Amino acid sequence: MVEPWAAEMTVYFYAILFARYPAVRPMFPPGMDAQRGRLLRALLRIVDLVDDPQSLVRFCGHLGRDHRKFGTLAAHFPAVGECLLASLARYAGPAWTTDIAAAWTKAYGVVAQVMISAAEEDEAVRPAVWPATVVHRVPRGHGISEITVRPHMPYEYAAGQYVSVETPWWPKRWRYYSPANAPREDGTLTFHVRAVAGGSVSDALVHRAAVGDVLQLGPPMGDMVLDAADYSDLLCVAGGTGLAPIRALVEEVARRGGHHQVDLFLGARTGAELYGVDDMLRMAQRHHWLTIRGAVSHEHIPGIRGSLPEVLAEYGPWYQHDVYLSGPAPMVISARETLTLNGTLTERIHYDPFETPVLSIP
């Protein structure tokens, strides 16, 4: 009922939240566009999962743990609930009946309690944020930099997961990046960051960050990890800087003794944009179980030509593989469709969520 006015509703929600509870305003960034989108996606996801309690609890648990980095407290939830229900009532109009109001009140109570409980459990075992010093920065061309940081405290994560990052130049603006390495003995993490048009955080990391700067890391998240694989054969597909978590997974296979056969496809529009291929070829020379293929879709050069989904269909089938996809959302969606049409089970296809990961878990 409120979908046609969803954007207006989220503007209204934050307006009345800040008017009624001005103390919460400093928790949010000055620009609220991205935040309003996150709220809307979270609401849509909760409604989608309302008949799947296990997934709903898992999703809300992720939200609760992730919200610790914002300084969210249990006392904030009643204020948010009050303003959310008031916003829904305003934009639903006559459709907002007593029964629907009661259902939403109960649903919000459940969501809030799961988030609060998850945050409290998380607080008992680890910090909300990890300061991390930039120790190395290498420009890689085409607006990409490799940035290595050393957290000030132990930071436990699994290869294939993603991390939210806050820079000192844009406080309270968190963006998500996947470490390009499996856990190291020295505790450092390397991120592949591409400066995107209008991307304040990515632009600052690529063009402004220097050795000695201190970033903030949120908790590691995501389930695109090696332990999710059931088969010994792995298909890894990476487009652009989506190579980062795939590279970390390949490193993790090597750390575990190379007990998987890995077929890796790298894709780009042009040969110049075929990012990281030399590094991966060197890894393939060291590891007999790793096969690398590069595909270019918009340029006639020696080698494989075509989009990654087209190339996957040509070299398949892959129904006896666990599949890991990473890259632009259209590529991941198209590759997933191609694979399922050719017999790969959906539960064998693992990929990073899109946009704001914790709010878009597939």
Fold exhibited by the domain 3-123: Globin-like (1.10.490)
CA gyration radius, the chain: 22
| pLDDT on residue 299 | 57
pLDDT band, very low/low/confident/very high, at 357 (cuts 50, 70, 90) = very low
The more confident residue out of 323 and 239 is 323
CATH number among 3.20.20.70, 1.20.120.520, 3.40.50.720, 3.40.50.80, domain 226-359:
3.40.50.80
| pLDDT on residue 163 | 93
- As annotated, the residues of the chain forming the CATH 2.40.30.10 domain(s) are 130-217
If one counts every other C-beta atom within 10 angstroms of the C-beta of residue 302, the result is 7
Distance between CA atoms of residues 163 and 332, nearest Å = 20
Q: Does domain 130-217 have CATH number 2.40.30.10?
A: yes
Distance between CA atoms of residues 215 and 209, nearest Å = 9
Average pLDDT over the chain, rounded to an integer: 88
Residue 42 has pLDDT above 90, yes or no: no
| pLDDT on residue 186 | 96
Distance between CA atoms of residues 228 and 295, nearest Å = 27
pLDDT band, very low/low/confident/very high, at 316 (cuts 50, 70, 90) = confident
| pLDDT on residue 129 | 96
Query: Which range has the worst mean pLDDT, 290-299, 315-324, 350-359?
Result: 350-359
pLDDT in tens, 104-135: 999 899 999 999 999 999 999 999 999 999 99
Distance of CA 247 to the CA centre of its chain: 16
Torsion sign over Cα 255, 155, 166, 211: negative
Mean pLDDT of 341-358: 76
Mean pLDDT of 205-230: 93
